[in-house]
Chains A and B, each alone.
Chain A
Amino acid sequence: MADDEDLDAVRAVLTGDVSAFQRIVERWQGPLVNLAYRFCRDRGQAADMAQEAFLRIFRALPSFRAKSSFSTWMISVAANVYRSQLRRNLPELTGLEALADFPGLSEALVETAGSREELVRRTVQALPAKYRDAVVLFYFHEMNVNRASESLGVPPGTLKARLHRARALLARRLRHLFNSDTVPTEA
């Protein structure tokens, strides 16, 4: 139903009714801003990134072929925008792996991040890009491997392999926060 409404709006835009794009923006602004926030963890930057994503989607509308659902295609375009923007602005927390080697430092890191949960999310952000993207999209799609792999443009098997590797890296970097039996160890 929602996809039909999106397709109606797309058709209207393609026939010259630019204002019809507002229906798409209003329906998808929440998810796209939230996806951007999961990538950058900054509200202001997330809004800017989502705006750029909507512009890119508007420009790319003529190339939409309806092979996949509009929402999947749109999130895939947005994810590409976010990934390329993050490549330009490297994340700040890149040295977490080295820091995690010092026992007792985890409490200080938790304090800096604000909470244990926030530290985990920031550690995800500091993963190598291909693992970070896999984790972000997997949890954004509520752990649906097929939808996440479509958004990322990789086969489901590749996504699973990246998730496994990402979780192993997270386990190593956060081993002071978790008991070894709650987080999988590296294979």
Chain B
Amino acid sequence: MDELDRILSEEHAIAPPAGFSRRVMAAVHREASTPAPIPFPWRYAVATFAAMAVALVACLFLSPLLPTWTLDGGAALQRALSRIDPNLLAVCSTVAFAAVALLRYSLRFVFF
């Protein structure tokens, strides 16, 4: 055993400070009483993405089979939307989103 081994092996042990275990246990109890974080809903997310992918593929493959009147209807809708003032459209969509969010929030009080 050389000099370096001797020095590094002879480290003097230090004692934990007074009340150390009490402090640790207090922190552990705090940790235990904190509710666990809500995990990301991977199951629902994967199901949603899968459904979107299926819908996209279905649209791509089935769109040539659609009757022509649906395409005409789409074009008509697009023309109608283009006539609406974009600012008004933005305000309307914001109000609609806010209404949906409010509705969803208020459902909590109905079901819980």
Interface residues of A (CB under 8 A from B): 18-19, 21-22, 25-26, 29-30, 33-34, 37-38, 43, 46-47, 50-51, 54-55, 58-59, 116-117, 120-121, 124, 135, 139, 142-143, 167, 170-171, 178, 182-184
Contacts and interface: CB of A to CB of B under 8 A. Distances in A.
If over half of A's interface residues share one DSSP class (helix, strand or loop), that class is named, otherwise mixed; here it is: helix
Nearest to B8: A139
Contacts of A19: 25
Nearest to B21: A25
Given A25-B24, A143-B5, 14 more contacts: A18-B28, A18-B29, A21-B28, A25-B25, A33-B20, A34-B11, A43-B14, A116-B7, A117-B10, A120-B8, A121-B11, A135-B8, A139-B9, A182-B3
A121 B27 CA distance: 31
Contacts of B17: 43, 47
B77 to A, nearest CB: 54
Contacts of A29: 16, 20-21, 24
Nearest to B29: A18
A126 to B, nearest CB: 14
B2 A58 contact: no
